[in-house]
Chains A and B, each alone.
Chain A
Amino acid sequence: MADRRRIRLWPHRVMTANATDAPRTGVVGHRAGVRRPPRTLTAAAVVTAALFALPGGYVVWRVMGGSASPLALLASRGTLEPLWRTIQLAALVSASTAVLGTGLAWLTTRTDIPMRRLWRIVVPLPLVYPSFVGAAAFISGLAPGGIVHDLIGYLGVDLTTRLHGLTGSWLVLTLFTYPYVYLPVAARLTALPGAFEENARLLGDGPRRVFARVVLPQIWSSIAAGSLLVFLYTVSDFGAVHLMRFETLTQTIFRTRLFDRDRSFTMALLLLVLALLVVAAERTVSRSGRRRGAGLDTVGDRRSLTVPLGRWTTPALAATSSVVGLALVAPAVSLADWGLFGFLRARQGGMPLRLDWHDVLGPTWNTVWISVLTALVATVVVLPVAYLVTRHRSRLGEVVNAVVVAGFAIPGLVVALSMIFWTMHASPFEFLIGSMPVLVFAYVVHFGAQAMRTAQVAVGTVPRRMDDAARLLGAGRLRRLATVDLPLMAPGLAAGAGLVMLSTMKELPATLLASPIGFRTLSTQIWNTYEALFLPEMAILAMVLLCISAVLTWLLVVRQSEHLR
């Protein structure tokens, strides 16, 4: 189903029909089958909301209480230019991913393109690249010693191209974020009953007109939601734009955080507002999409018409393979090339690799355990809120849920920045400066929403009667949780935890900023080796990260998505 697919991308609450449509005539009294939530649950949710609101709240407080006038800072060129660049880039990337993602989804679900099943598996895979690894792979591939540079060199052309600026950022971000559009659109297309299109054909429309008049209106909300997610991803991105030397808001925040804190925080607030607007827009879009789609899911034969490509087969195949080639194969080849080059160079007595087993295993281990820890904490933290919203339909729960979702909109950079300065200035909490809890906290605030969505789905999958039955058999609250709820929710919760884990290991800016001194993870080490221009070492670490992330992506996103069927 479309919605099940979207769970994995948009960490918002899932609205079941009765959750939103239930009449709310008053808080007093109670509704059928809805129990008032236990106090402990409410208390836990309130604490969660307070914690999730802390980073954003601190940014606002800093800007309002800063020495410089925030309005003057906002109006200055130094602020407006990065803002303009950010919006420009995000709009471009959203537009191109919308076209690319929709096109690929249509090709792989509605046409007779050869090797359809293979494409369906491969096309979403660029998700495994963190944007900064992808950007680094492209830049290093084109740099002297990189595979592209060498290949051109064989042809006798000495051409050093440098991918940078708006073009570079746009290209790289498009290639690595189009799956965010592809996945929901492909899922929607798969779920869309073929009967609509069949009817349109019988009523006299050709394939092209069917697409424009029947298919597009049906999948439009998925496209919009996916593109908005890409927009959010782009405005929050730090790694790729930094490597491409394109100064967006995140860049400016990072650069000015030490010497011009007022500016840094003002920009952070600006970014925060932008991101919240995008999330609000997405919620509106997908809510209207749900409303339109409601009641249309027909049962029975879901197979849809296959459009024969005919003479368009070759161009379609060429387009699909070039996208996959550029987004998936090229970066991998470039990294592998650098890694191999490093090994060969060391073996032939050249400069040894500045990397031993210890340097790989240490960060790998750190990456794994910190992301597992984050995933566990996030799941535990969001569970009470999920209960309140889904089972008790509590208003308070809705509010807390909105706060948690807003946390997802705050870029990791801003969360980390806010937390660092907060610990520095909040007098009883100085012991937290540069400590592991702050890092985990930043991750949880940033990614908790991803666990929230699946947690709500998971709570929703436990039928009320199951809980009622257990109660009547004499089971108290804890026994019900342990013997009925948790076992039934386990797959859903695990999926949510897995998503958080995946995001955590790919996260760069929060890790860079909030890591305790000396705590090295794969992403910080990739970053550092790249900045130090140790490209072979960077490539080896990046490949390790990619492998772990590929396994998780496979388990969580690709394997479970219904569009593969």
Chain B
Amino acid sequence: MPAPDAHTPTLGSSAATHILLGMLNRRIQVPRATAEGLEVSNLSVAYDGPSVLTQVSLEVAAGEIVALLGPSGCGKTTLLRTIAGLERQQAGTVRLGDRVLGDDTTFVPPEKRRIGMVFQDGALFPHLDVGQNVAYGLPRAERRSSRVADTLELVGLAGMVDRMPGSLSGGQQQRVALARALAPRPGVLLLDEPFSSLDTSLRVQVRSEIHHLLLELGVTTVFVTHDQEEAFVLGDRVAVLNDGRLAQVGTPDELYRHPVDRWVATFVGDANLIPVASAVGTCRTVVGDVPVVGEVDGPAELLLRPEDIRVEDGDDGVVELVEYYGHDAMVQVRLDDDTSIRVRTGADLTHQRGDRVGVAYVGPGAVALGV
């Protein structure tokens, strides 16, 4: 074991060592081995009237980070709140580790679930200082221990113990909220759109800090977001919800490259959907020949991501719109058969609005989605 202050290159540069080193440098004890697996099966929730969640099943392994992604009103927050016990399910089971938290006969109240949650706006107690906020969930004996200071140090707010929440910035408040949720060593951590109340520049910074921390601690985490980028960046896996049903669960890559249906394809990233009569083998399309993955025998749509297409000199259509993003650009081309196609190009713009251009497929193969 290296000395706590050793920050020497001899230790190598693997990520694990780096993290360990960082922890030792902070001379704090990180809560270990509290992470538990979470299992939701056939969960249904209804308020007065129509159901909000229908037969949702989701397994989260211990230490995994899962994003719940969906448009507003799809039930993702309800799913989170039902896991927390803040809403009651009509049917289904919620299990944490080997404990049943809720099923047809059991309902463990939220205060007994050992679940940590960070709310959209942090929901810090405004009348308690930072230290008291973090200590709130600890057993009486531990409230005066070093646990509070340690957890605050973990989130990078050492020395803020006596500050009042109102005097903190939005990012700091969110980190206090995280410390408060982590302090009692929850089995699972739930985050409800934790970055949406922060402004854009801060959001990315806080997000990556928290990402680091979650990986470091190995906490089982479920978080809700409506932002596809956020879901992809943070989530080991992403669960896409649509209208109270689970549309697809998978790694970000799976979702992006192999969406199960049209809705997921368009919700997750930009999509050009090209109708074809039969999606078998290689299809001849407006952008040239496209090899098909996951064939559909019959009428289907091919999913062409904008980066799978290239704009070149030629005579297929007219550049209709150019959106310049700095790191890249999106070019919208109106083809001669009146379909409109979005193409991601490099930042060095070669074509302008009004130019006649050609388009060509350059991707590895397109997913066919049955119509």
Contacts A25-B49, A466-B123 known; list 18 others, CB within 8 Å.
A23-B48, A25-B48, A26-B48, A29-B48, A33-B87, A465-B121, A466-B125, A469-B117, A469-B125, A471-B109, A473-B136, A473-B137, A473-B180, A474-B114, A474-B137, A475-B111, A476-B111, A488-B125
The 5 closest A-B pairs by CB, nearest first: A473-B137, A465-B123, A471-B110, A25-B48, A469-B123
Distance (Å) between the CB of A233 and the closest chain B CB? 37
Contact B47 A31 (CB under 8 A): yes
- A293 within 8 A of partner (CB): no
- A484 within 8 A of partner (CB): yes
User: Whole-angstrom distance between the alpha carbons of A246 and B136 in the complex?
Assistant: 62
- A206 within 8 A of partner (CB): no
Contact A474 B49 (CB under 8 A): no
Report B-chain residues with C-beta under 8 Å of the C-beta of A25: 48-49
8 A-B interface contacts by CB (under 8 A)? A29-B48, A31-B47, A31-B48, A463-B123, A468-B84, A468-B117, A472-B113, A488-B126
Contact B127 A472 (CB under 8 A): no
Report A-chain residues with C-beta under 8 Å of the C-beta of B177: 469
Distance (Å) between the CB of B76 and the closest chain A CB? 13
**Segment 157-177 of B: residues with Cβ below 8 Å from A:** 177
Q: Decide: A472 near B125, CB < 8 A? Known: A25-B49, A30-B47.
A: no
Contact A30 B88 (CB under 8 A): yes
Distance (Å) between the CB of A467 and the closest chain B CB? 9
- B333 within 8 A of partner (CB): no
**Proximity bits, A186-199, B CB within 8 Å = 1, else 0:** 00000000000000
- A217 within 8 A of partner (CB): no
**Segment 89-133 of B: residues with Cβ below 8 Å from A:** 109-117, 119-121, 123, 125-128
**Segment 132-158 of A: residues with Cβ below 8 Å from B:** none
- B329 within 8 A of partner (CB): no
- B371 within 8 A of partner (CB): no
**Proximity bits, A439-473, B CB within 8 Å = 1, else 0:** 00000000000000000000000010110111111
**Proximity bits, A10-52, B CB within 8 Å = 1, else 0:** 0000000000000111101111110000000000000000000
Of all chain A residues, which has the CB nearest B177? A469
Contact A472 B116 (CB under 8 A): yes
Interface centre among A26, A33, A472, A487 (most CB of B within 10 A): A472
User: Whole-angstrom distance between the alpha carbons of A228 and B47 in the complex?
Assistant: 40
User: Whole-angstrom distance between the alpha carbons of A191 and B287 in the complex?
Assistant: 60
Contact A475 B136 (CB under 8 A): yes
Contact B117 A472 (CB under 8 A): yes
User: Whole-angstrom distance between the alpha carbons of A28 and B116 in the complex?
Assistant: 30
Report A-chain residues with C-beta under 8 Å of the C-beta of B112: 474
Report A-chain residues with C-beta under 8 Å of the C-beta of B120: 465
Report B-chain residues with C-beta under 8 Å of the C-beta of A468: 81, 84, 86, 110, 117, 119, 123
Contact among B49, B110, B128 with A472 in the assembled complex (CB-CB below 8 Å) = B110
- B184 within 8 A of partner (CB): yes
- B210 within 8 A of partner (CB): no
Distance (Å) between the CB of B166 and the closest chain A CB? 13
Report B-chain residues with C-beta under 8 Å of the C-beta of A484: 125
Of all chain A residues, which has the CB nearest B190? A472
Distance (Å) between the CB of B45 and the closest chain A CB? 10
- B151 within 8 A of partner (CB): no
Distance (Å) between the CB of A474 and the closest chain B CB? 5
- B78 within 8 A of partner (CB): yes
User: Whole-angstrom distance between the alpha carbons of A470 and B46 in the complex?
Assistant: 25
Of all chain B residues, which has the CB nearest A36? B88
Contact A30 B123 (CB under 8 A): no
Report A-chain residues with C-beta under 8 Å of the C-beta of B128: 483
Q: Decide: A472 near B115, CB < 8 A? Known: A32-B78, A465-B121.
A: yes
Report A-chain residues with C-beta under 8 Å of the C-beta of B48: 23-26, 28-31
Report B-chain residues with C-beta under 8 Å of the C-beta of A23: 48
Distance (Å) between the CB of A472 and the closest chain B CB? 5
Contact B119 A473 (CB under 8 A): no
Instruction: Count residues on chain B whose CB falls below 8 Å from chain A CBs.
Output: 35
Report A-chain residues with C-beta under 8 Å of the C-beta of B88: 30
User: Whole-angstrom distance between the alpha carbons of A466 and B165 in the complex?
Assistant: 13
Distance (Å) between the CB of B33 and the closest chain A CB? 20
Contact A472 B84 (CB under 8 A): yes
Contact among B86, B121, B180, B184 with A471 in the assembled complex (CB-CB below 8 Å) = B86
Interface centre among A474, A475, A484 (most CB of B within 10 A): A474
Report B-chain residues with C-beta under 8 Å of the C-beta of A32: 47, 52, 78, 87
Of all chain A residues, which has the CB nearest B84? A472
Of all chain A residues, which has the CB nearest B49? A25
Distance (Å) between the CB of A115 and the closest chain B CB? 36
Contact among A24, A26, A469, A487 with B127 in the assembled complex (CB-CB below 8 Å) = A487
Of all chain A residues, which has the CB nearest B114? A474
User: Whole-angstrom distance between the alpha carbons of A338 and B246 in the complex?
Assistant: 82
Report B-chain residues with C-beta under 8 Å of the C-beta of A472: 84, 86, 110-111, 113, 115-117, 137, 181
Contact A488 B127 (CB under 8 A): yes
Contact B136 A465 (CB under 8 A): no
Report A-chain residues with C-beta under 8 Å of the C-beta of B119: 465, 468-469
Of all chain B residues, which has the CB nearest A468? B86
Report A-chain residues with C-beta under 8 Å of the C-beta of B127: 487-488
Of all chain B residues, which has the CB nearest A475? B111
Of all chain B residues, which has the CB nearest A23? B48
User: Whole-angstrom distance between the alpha carbons of A470 and B177 in the complex?
Assistant: 12
User: Whole-angstrom distance between the alpha carbons of A199 and B87 in the complex?
Assistant: 48
Report B-chain residues with C-beta under 8 Å of the C-beta of A487: 127
User: Whole-angstrom distance between the alpha carbons of A476 and B120 in the complex?
Assistant: 23
Report A-chain residues with C-beta under 8 Å of the C-beta of B126: 488
Report A-chain residues with C-beta under 8 Å of the C-beta of B116: 472
Report B-chain residues with C-beta under 8 Å of the C-beta of A488: 125-127
User: Whole-angstrom distance between the alpha carbons of A178 and B105 in the complex?
Assistant: 61
Distance (Å) between the CB of B88 and the closest chain A CB? 7
**Segment 198-257 of A: residues with Cβ below 8 Å from B:** none
Report A-chain residues with C-beta under 8 Å of the C-beta of B84: 468, 472
Report B-chain residues with C-beta under 8 Å of the C-beta of A469: 117, 119, 123, 125, 177, 180
User: Whole-angstrom distance between the alpha carbons of A31 and B52 in the complex?
Assistant: 11
Report A-chain residues with C-beta under 8 Å of the C-beta of B123: 463, 465-466, 468-469
**Proximity bits, B66-88, A CB within 8 Å = 1, else 0:** 00000000000010010011111
**Proximity bits, B177-203, A CB within 8 Å = 1, else 0:** 100110010000000000000000000
Report B-chain residues with C-beta under 8 Å of the C-beta of A29: 46-49
Report B-chain residues with C-beta under 8 Å of the C-beta of A474: 111-112, 114, 137, 184
User: Whole-angstrom distance between the alpha carbons of A488 and B52 in the complex?
Assistant: 32
User: Whole-angstrom distance between the alpha carbons of A487 and B164 in the complex?
Assistant: 15
User: Whole-angstrom distance between the alpha carbons of A29 and B90 in the complex?
Assistant: 9
Distance (Å) between the CB of A289 and the closest chain B CB? 30
**Segment 115-133 of A: residues with Cβ below 8 Å from B:** none
Distance (Å) between the CB of B342 and the closest chain A CB? 37
Interface centre among B48, B49, B88, B112 (most CB of A within 10 A): B48
Of all chain B residues, which has the CB nearest A469? B123
User: Whole-angstrom distance between the alpha carbons of A24 and B47 in the complex?
Assistant: 11
Of all chain A residues, which has the CB nearest B113? A472
**Proximity bits, A469-494, B CB within 8 Å = 1, else 0:** 11111111000000110011000000
Interface centre among B49, B136, B177 (most CB of A within 10 A): B136
Of all chain B residues, which has the CB nearest A484? B125
Interface centre among A23, A26, A31, A33 (most CB of B within 10 A): A33
Contact B49 A471 (CB under 8 A): no
User: Whole-angstrom distance between the alpha carbons of A26 and B136 in the complex?
Assistant: 37
Report A-chain residues with C-beta under 8 Å of the C-beta of B85: 471
Interface centre among A24, A33, A463, A468 (most CB of B within 10 A): A468
User: Whole-angstrom distance between the alpha carbons of A24 and B52 in the complex?
Assistant: 17
Of all chain B residues, which has the CB nearest A22? B48
Distance (Å) between the CB of B209 and the closest chain A CB? 21
Contact B117 A470 (CB under 8 A): no
Distance (Å) between the CB of A368 and the closest chain B CB? 29
User: Whole-angstrom distance between the alpha carbons of A185 and B127 in the complex?
Assistant: 33
Distance (Å) between the CB of A36 and the closest chain B CB? 9
